Homo-oligomer: A and B are copies of this chain.
Amino acid sequence: MKKNVTIEKRKTFRHGDLRNALVTAGLEMARIGGPNAVILREATRQAGVSPNAAYRHFANQAALLAAVRSACISRVAAAIEEEMKKCHPGRYPQAFARKSLRAVGIGYLGFAMREPGMFRTAFSVPPPVHSPDPANTASMGLNPFQLLSLALDRMHESGLLSKKDRKDAEYLAWSTVHGLALLVLEGPLHKMPHEMVLALGERLVVMVERGLSSEIAH
């Protein structure tokens, strides 16, 4: 029934790479069942090791969970990057800026839909995302928050956003997509069909783009 992928009974007394094995196992559990599903004992089991061995690498299960969370955040960042790669700076900086902002929002939401467990794990309880912890980044070296900032900078530089409106705009923009994602993943919008979520996502980023700037209409 249970396919223990990783228990190929090692022959060395030392595992060699236990810390990583535990995080990997935890990541898979998070992927399937969210943050509450990352069980310390189960991780050691999958690594083919006694429960206590984990305590040589993590202070407690919260520490393990924190490591798993970092990994999840990196995945989010990677998903956003993937989306951002699709937009190139052409001759119209404003179009580029808009596309960048949209990429962040859609990348974020897309990941949430594709990997609900990891997404929920990424954003719960005490993540030090704000401080640029390299463990949270993907290939560009930016965490999701910084990727969003980048997109907003492009908006500002291209004249789409005044300096005043640019300030703290990441919080507003992020709130929006994050809220939709969580309402769908573990909230009352639980059974909303995927395509509708994505359609709402499109409307949402438009709303953000329009709503951020105080220029047009007061």
A→B interface (CB under 8 Å) = 36, 123-130, 145, 168, 171-172, 174-183, 186-190, 200, 203-204, 206-212, 216-217
The residues of B that contact A168 with a CB separation of less than 8 Å are: 200, 203
CB A165 to nearest CB in B, in angstroms, measures: 9
Contact partner of A188 among B127, B181, B209, CB < 8 A?
B127
Please judge, given known A-B contacts A182-B178, A183-B171, whether A130 and B210 are in contact too, CB under 8 Å: no
Copies of this protein in the assembly total 2
Question: What are the nearest 3 A-B pairs in CB distance?
Answer: A179-B179, A211-B211, A207-B211
The residues of B that contact A171 with a CB separation of less than 8 Å are: 180, 183, 189, 200
The residues of B that contact A179 with a CB separation of less than 8 Å are: 174-182
The residues of B that contact A211 with a CB separation of less than 8 Å are: 206-212
Please judge, given known A-B contacts A36-B36, A176-B176, whether A123 and B204 are in contact too, CB under 8 Å: no
Contact partner of A183 among B178, B180, B206, CB < 8 A?
B178
The residues of B that contact A177 with a CB separation of less than 8 Å are: 175, 179
A211 to B168, CA, bound (A): 17
A171 to B127, CA, bound (A): 27
The residues of B that contact A174 with a CB separation of less than 8 Å are: 179, 183
CB A191 to nearest CB in B, in angstroms, measures: 8
Please judge, given known A-B contacts A207-B212, A211-B208, A217-B216, whether A125 and B176 are in contact too, CB under 8 Å: no
A167 to B135, CA, bound (A): 41
A130 to B209, CA, bound (A): 29
The residues of B that contact A217 with a CB separation of less than 8 Å are: 210, 216-217
